[in-house]
Amino acid sequence: MPTIKTLTASRQIETRWGDTLQKIAQRELGDASKWIDIANINQLKPPYLTGDPIVSNANVLLYGDSLTIPSGGGAASATSDPDEVFGKDAKLDKGKLTAANGDLAIVSGAGNVLQALSNRVLTEQDELLYHRKYGSSVRRIIGKKGNSRSGDIASGFVQRALLADSRVAQIKSSNVAVSGDSMKITVSVETTTGKIITLGIVDGFPA
């Protein structure tokens, strides 16, 4: 039976996208081996942290959730630097890698979330053999008669895809504008840190 450590002082931090308890222990406490203390204090069980809302429960936290750790030194947490929870990735331009200063360009913070959401909408669901649930079905609307019904269906496809990213807390608004054969969907989402990000989709592709 695991020992639940009693805290004399503690603080709350926000977990970051892709975190492990070892990373958190090293970053916040300066000692990766203290991850066991963090697991016990928070009564966590394997896999401890996840990006999948279906897997998360009282004993498995979702990236972006708060975590109790012992008071102590460490680098700035996601609470003081909320964009850190969004992680970093290679910057893409129309699906192609870009360069900066002789190396791959990097996008981080809210820009990384926006890029990730755009990629998710752009990818047709079932297109990736080993990630069949990734992507959206909005491009199935292309070629259909543009009307309020097809607009609502397309908006639903986009919203479902965006909510599948665990960094998205909720959809704040979704507006559809149909003009002839063209359709524009503008969706605003609230992230797990409270930041509002707006994504535009024109005829099934991110604007």
Q: What are 158-199's pLDDT values in tens digits?
A: 999 998 887 888 899 999 888 877 888 999 998 877 889 999
- pLDDT computed for residue 188 by the predictor: 95
Q: Is the pLDDT of residue 72 over 80?
A: no
Beta strands (DSSP E) in the chain are 10-14, 49-50, 61-62, 66-70, 88-90, 92-93, 96-97, 99-100, 103-104, 106-108, 168-179, 182-191, 196-202, 205-206
How far is the first Cα of the chain from the last one, in angstroms, to the nearest whole number? 54
Rounded Cα–Cα distance for residues 100 and 65 (Å): 33
So where are the chain's domains?
10-80, 88-206
Domain 88-206 has CATH 3.30.420.40: no
pTM above 0.85, yes or no: no
- Residue recorded with tokens 């009564």: 43
- pLDDT computed for residue 146 by the predictor: 64
Q: Are 120 and 113 in contact (CB under 8 A)?
A: no
